[in-house]
Structure 1
Amino acid sequence: MRDDKNLTRIANLLRQAEGTDNEHEAATFLQAAQRLATAASIDLAVARAHDPAAARSGPTVRQIAIGTAGKRGLRTYVALFVAIGHANDLKVDVAHNSTFVMAYGFPGDIDATETLYSSLVVQMVTASDAYLKSGAYKEEVAAKVVTDSSGWRTRRRVEYTPLSPITARLNFQSAFAERIGTRLREARDAARAEAEAADRGRSGSTQIALRDKEIEVVDYHRAESTARGTWRGSSASAGYSEGARRAGDRAGRRARIGEQERLGGPRAALEEG
């Protein structure tokens, strides 16, 4: 069941984050949005453990468009969605061309993930655009492992080349997604610890309900997923740039939240993320 009131409260927190010029306030609002999503998820898990009627509503799967086939950098968009999804108890399968994902979990958790993603993905793109426009990437290099074959001997070496705009963008956005994932997991863990501490010494039902919920989602994914193999995240084939990743990590730390229109994309083969 969709909790529109809860989603509205999360969206309001994201708008507050977007509206402040203070990095610490923006981070606080984002953390609060994730803690609210986690608290609502915990409440539902505990309710389902005690209410037979609520228990009838189990996990589901939802296809979510990421972008159109052929668009560069879709894997970093997927990485951001997967990071947010994992912080909200989802299992995620990824199309082989990264045009869409299949999110497995409870409806409220999928709703919260979509709400957070729609705000964060535009911030990621905007921040990477600003980084490229600044020209700072031109002072960086990309490291790439190259294999040389001579007769029966194969030798691997690291080759350094000037950092191209596309490689800079991919490294920046990958680091941004990783930092966002870390921030959201920290907020989730804090909310869970708070709920479990409040329940300690009584029934212990919160911890049990969360464990049962996790098992239910894993079992549902195992039964319903048609994914082949495991999604490996952004490819390093284009090259690795420490400078671009540092810039992306900084942007992920101070992310203010924006809005984004849904991108469209066709269905294709899936990998488990």
Structure 2
Amino acid sequence: MSSDKMLTRIGGLLRQAESTDNPHEGEAFMAAAQRLATAASIDLAVARSHAAGKEKRATPAQRLITIGEPGKKGLRTYAQLFLVIAAANDVQCDIAQTSAVIYAYGFAGDIDVCEALYTSLLIQMVRASDAYIKSGEYRNETTMRTQVEQRGRRRVRTTVRRPVAGVTARLNFQLAYAARIGHRLADAKRDAEDEATSVPESSAETALVLRDKQLELKDYYSENSQARGTWRGARASAGHASGARRAGDRAARTARLSNSPELSTARKQIPS
């Protein structure tokens, strides 16, 4: 199946998700979309393994994903959302310390799926977090903060309870949202792979092809990645807000995948 046809089929599933107000149906369509993406990726991997030596054979590539302008608020959690989507779709990533740019390594069809899912889920995450902040629910929560006081010649650290700030609530909400999305997509991927490797006449070949694909991507990444250090952008450095995290997790459990009719025209930038 071509990448365009596969994305169109996924788009059809997502439009079904958008037409229902039942969160359980929406989640089922989301899982089906991820399973289809995984199945298509497996089919392509099997096809590549049968390609004759002289035929043009698809190989991994690197693609630049622009999350936003350096210094723009929210980039850390936006980038985290893309990373969990990539992890469920056989795409490895490097990320700039500014969280503004991600270098995605993978097969073209897999990266296309990541961009499409990211565009839709990002819009939903931002809208859901905006609604949570506007509700004022976070104002009923407090968080523990460490402060340093100078007492004579000594610097004394004390822990105090403070009201949760809006920026802290938003950060925690979106981190929990991304984490839950990652779990849901990973579950759908695992189901699709289990189904693909359960067919007796082809299970051994499919399992071997998937392993070869992973090794090919790992080798490509090792040869081309120039990443150094560790990205720490996902840490909620502003403090912990358990209520906001619970709200973000709830929102992600019922998230739908797309607000646009066709995934193939998905935007790469964050919403303004």
TM-score normalised by the chain length of structure 1: 0.88
Kindly provide the amino acid, as one letter, of the partner of residue 13 in structure 1.
L
Matched, 1:20 2:26: no
Q: CA deviation at 1:232?
A: 3.1
Q: CA deviation at 1:74?
A: 0.6
Alignment-derived partner of residue 220 in structure 2: 220
Change (3 A) 1:186 1:133: same
Residue 197 of structure 2: SS of its match in structure 1?
helix
Alignment-derived partner of residue 137 in structure 1: 138
Q: CA deviation at 1:13?
A: 1.7
Q: Work out the CA distance in 2 between the residues paired with 1:77 and 1:64.
A: 12
Kindly provide the amino acid, as one letter, of the partner of residue 210 in structure 1.
L
Contact 2:115 2:268 in 1 (8 A): no
Q: Work out the CA distance in 2 between the residues paired with 1:261 and 1:44.
A: 24
Contact 1:2 1:111 in 2 (8 A): no
Q: Deviations over 1:90-117 (max 9, x none)?
A: 1011111111211101111001111111
Q: Deviations over 1:193-237 (max 9, x none)?
A: 001011x36560111111111111111111111111122341222
Alignment-derived partner of residue 182 in structure 1: 183
Tell which deviates more after alignment, 159-168 or 246-255.
159-168
Change (3 A) 1:138 1:227: same
Alignment-derived partner of residue 271 in structure 1: none
Q: CA RMSD in A?
A: 2.4
Q: CA deviation at 1:242?
A: 0.6
Alignment-derived partner of residue 86 in structure 2: 85
Contact 2:148 2:157 in 1 (8 A): yes
Q: CA deviation at 1:19?
A: 2.5
Matched, 1:262 2:268: yes
Kindly provide the amino acid, as one letter, of the partner of residue 70 in structure 1.
G
Q: Deviations over 1:77-101 (max 9, x none)?
A: 0000000000001101111111121
Q: Work out the CA distance in 2 between the residues paired with 1:151 and 1:63.
A: 53
Kindly provide the amino acid, as one letter, of the partner of residue 181 in structure 2.
I
Q: Work out the CA distance in 2 between the residues paired with 1:62 and 1:159.
A: 45
Contact 1:143 1:241 in 2 (8 A): no
In the alignment of these two chains, the number of paired residues is 263
Contact 1:142 1:160 in 2 (8 A): yes
Kindly provide the amino acid, as one letter, of the partner of residue 52 in structure 1.
A
Alignment-derived partner of residue 124 in structure 2: 123
Contact 1:137 1:244 in 2 (8 A): yes
Matched, 1:30 2:30: yes
Contact 2:26 2:255 in 1 (8 A): yes
Name structure 2 gaps, 5 residues minimum: 261-265
Alignment-derived partner of residue 51 in structure 1: 51
Q: CA deviation at 1:46?
A: 1.3
Residue 198 of structure 2: SS of its match in structure 1?
helix
Contact 2:17 2:29 in 1 (8 A): yes
Contact 1:48 1:55 in 2 (8 A): no
Residue 223 of structure 1: SS of its match in structure 2?
helix
Contact 2:60 2:107 in 1 (8 A): yes
Q: CA deviation at 1:251?
A: 0.3
Q: CA deviation at 1:30?
A: 0.7
Tell which deviates more after alignment, 144-153 or 116-125.
144-153
Kindly provide the amino acid, as one letter, of the partner of residue 263 in structure 1.
Q
Matched, 1:3 2:9: no
Instruction: Give identity over the alignment, percent.
Output: 53
Q: Work out the CA distance in 1 between the residues paired with 2:209 and 2:139.
A: 51
Contact 1:11 1:115 in 2 (8 A): no
Q: Work out the CA distance in 2 between the residues paired with 1:208 and 1:147.
A: 57
TM-score normalised by the chain length of structure 2: 0.89
